[in-house]
């Protein structure tokens, strides 16, 4: 309950800040990009249409009342309700985020666990150097390199977009799925690999820490096979910090998604946010800010729940 209140307070703060910041900005919406003056009559008409001539507190109160009911106003630049724009983009973002998180965790845990089990070996050191290098790579540049190799040189995968603009509607149901998967592969791989490097380093550290715990030493002294120790005790212990990591990974995932969605022309929230900011589309900016904040809050919540579930002490008391 306290958590829910805090989450709501955070969302309200983000919304208020975004609303205030965007209205304090110099420059006005509806301004033609080439610097020509806008016809004053037309401007007044537009301002009246979007209720921009009311005093700011009134605008804020109206906007807030509407927002609580799920109405976030109308996007200036797309001339559609903000809710519809976000609703169209959100599934794409969730799909990309889920796929990327899957790659992140699968690759990250596999690498980290292998490294922890072979700590100090040549392979471990090579992989450590590798994950450290991947963390130094700008995620958008990684995306471009993958595009270059897999799309431009080898023509295995499409360059960008979520579906094929020409053939998608003509395909069979199975063909459409395949088309989606092929479009998803590179962006998910880019975002996932960037995160996997951090996850691998984290898992390796957490498992090495668990290695020296008393119950692991006891199990080893009792002659439990190394493999069982690794899976049943060490990985189990490392699971708790890992659960928290998932929550912490969410902001990075969203930030990375902004860049990756731009590289791959992926029609998600990140691109909507970038476009809205560049177009000074106030309602849409506030809308995307709210969605991102909600994602961050939810991510933290999911991380806590996972941690609670992973920790028998908490699980029993809950």
Region from 64-72, 94-102, 165-173, 246-254 binding another protein, contact rule CB under 8 A: 246-254
**31 counts as binding another protein under rule CB under 8 A:** no
In whole angstroms, the minimum distance from the beta carbon of 178 to another protein comes to 24
**254 counts as binding another protein under rule CB under 8 A:** yes
DSSP secondary structure of the chain: -HHHHHHHHHHHHHHHHHHHHHHHSSS-TT--TT-PPPPHHHHHHHHHHTTTTS-HHHHHHHHHHHHHTT---B-TTT-SBHHHHHHHHHHHHHHHHHHHHHHHHHHHHHHHHHHHHTTTSHHHHHHHHHHHHHHTS-HHHHHHHHIIIIIIIS--S-SSSSS-TTTGGGS-HHHHHHHHHHHHHHHHHHHHHHHHHHHHHHHHHHHHHHHTSHHHHHHHHTT--HHHIIIIIIHHHHHHHHHHHHHHHHHHHHHHHHHHHHHTT--SHHHHHHHHHHTT-HHHHHHHHHHHHHHHHHHHHHHHHHHHHH-HHHHHH-
Region from 24-32, 87-95, 174-182, 227-235 binding another protein, contact rule CB under 8 A: 24-32
Residue 69 φ then ψ, to 5°: -90, 10
In whole angstroms, the minimum distance from the beta carbon of 128 to another protein comes to 7
Among 168, 262, 304, 309, binds another protein (CB under 8 A): 262
**136 counts as binding another protein under rule CB under 8 A:** yes
Residues 6+ apart with CB under 8 A from 152: 159
Closer to another protein at the Cβ: 240 or 258? 258
Closer to another protein at the Cβ: 188 or 269? 269
Query: Sign of torsion, CA 28 29 34 39?
Result: negative
**258 counts as binding another protein under rule CB under 8 A:** yes
**57 counts as binding another protein under rule CB under 8 A:** no
**10 counts as binding another protein under rule CB under 8 A:** yes
Region from 53-61, 79-87, 182-190, 198-206 binding another protein, contact rule CB under 8 A: 198-206
Among 11, 95, 110, 137, binds another protein (CB under 8 A): 137
Q: Which of residues 140-159 bind another protein (CB under 8 A)?
A: 140-141, 144-145, 147-148, 152
Closer to another protein at the Cβ: 120 or 223? 120
A 10 A CB-CB count for 131 gives 22
Query: Sign of torsion, CA 197 135 268 7?
Result: positive
A 10 A CB-CB count for 132 gives 11
Region from 60-68, 72-80, 170-178, 249-257 binding another protein, contact rule CB under 8 A: 249-257
Among 300, 303, 307, 310, binds another protein (CB under 8 A): 300
Closer to another protein at the Cβ: 73 or 270? 270
Place of tokens 């080439």: 34
- The 93-132 site mask, x for binding another protein (CB under 8 A), equals --------------------------xx----x--xx--x
Among 4, 44, 87, 278, binds another protein (CB under 8 A): 278
Report the interface residues with another protein, using CB under 8 A: 10, 13, 18, 21-22, 24-27, 119-120, 125, 128-129, 132-133, 135-141, 144-145, 147-148, 152, 201, 204-205, 208-209, 251-252, 254-256, 258-259, 262, 273-274, 277-278, 280, 285, 289, 292-293, 296-297, 300
């Amino acid at each position: 309950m306290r958590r829910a209140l805090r989450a709501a307070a955070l969302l309200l703060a983000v919304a208020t800040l975004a609303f205030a910041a965007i209205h304090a900005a110099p420059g006005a919406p509806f301004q033609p990009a080439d610097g020509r003056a806008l016809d004053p009559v037309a401007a007044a008409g537009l301002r009246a249409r979007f209720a921009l001539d009311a005093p700011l507190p009134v605008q804020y109160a109206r906007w807030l009342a509407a927002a609580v009911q799920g109405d976030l106003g109308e996007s200036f630049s797309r001339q559609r309700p903000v809710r519809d724009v976000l609703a169209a983009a959100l599934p794409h973002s969730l799909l990309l985020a889920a796929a990327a998180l899957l790659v992140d965790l699968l690759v990250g845990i596999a690498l980290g666990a292998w490294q922890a089990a072979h700590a100090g070996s040549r392979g471990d050191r090579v992989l450590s150097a590798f994950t450290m290098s991947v963390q130094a790579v700008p995620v958008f540049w990684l995306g471009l390199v993958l595009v270059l190799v897999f799309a431009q040189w080898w023509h295995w995968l499409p360059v960008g977009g979520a579906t094929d603009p020409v053939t998608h509607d003509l395909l069979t149901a199975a063909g459409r799925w395949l088309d989606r998967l092929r479009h998803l592969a590179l962006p998910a791989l880019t975002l996932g690999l960037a995160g996997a490097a951090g996850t691998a380093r984290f898992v390796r550290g957490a498992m090495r820490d668990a290695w020296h715990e008393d119950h692991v030493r006891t199990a080893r002294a009792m002659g439990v096979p190394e493999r069982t120790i690794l899976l049943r005790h060490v990985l189990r212990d490392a699971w708790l910090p890992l659960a928290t990591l998932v929550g912490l990974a969410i902001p990075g995932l969203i930030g990375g998604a902004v860049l990756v969605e731009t590289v791959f022309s992926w029609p998600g929230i990140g691109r909507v946010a970038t476009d809205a900011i560049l177009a000074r589309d106030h309602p849409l900016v506030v809308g995307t800010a709210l969605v991102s904040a909600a994602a961050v809050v939810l991510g933290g919540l999911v991380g806590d729940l996972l941690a609670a579930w992973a920790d028998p002490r908490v699980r029993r008391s809950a």
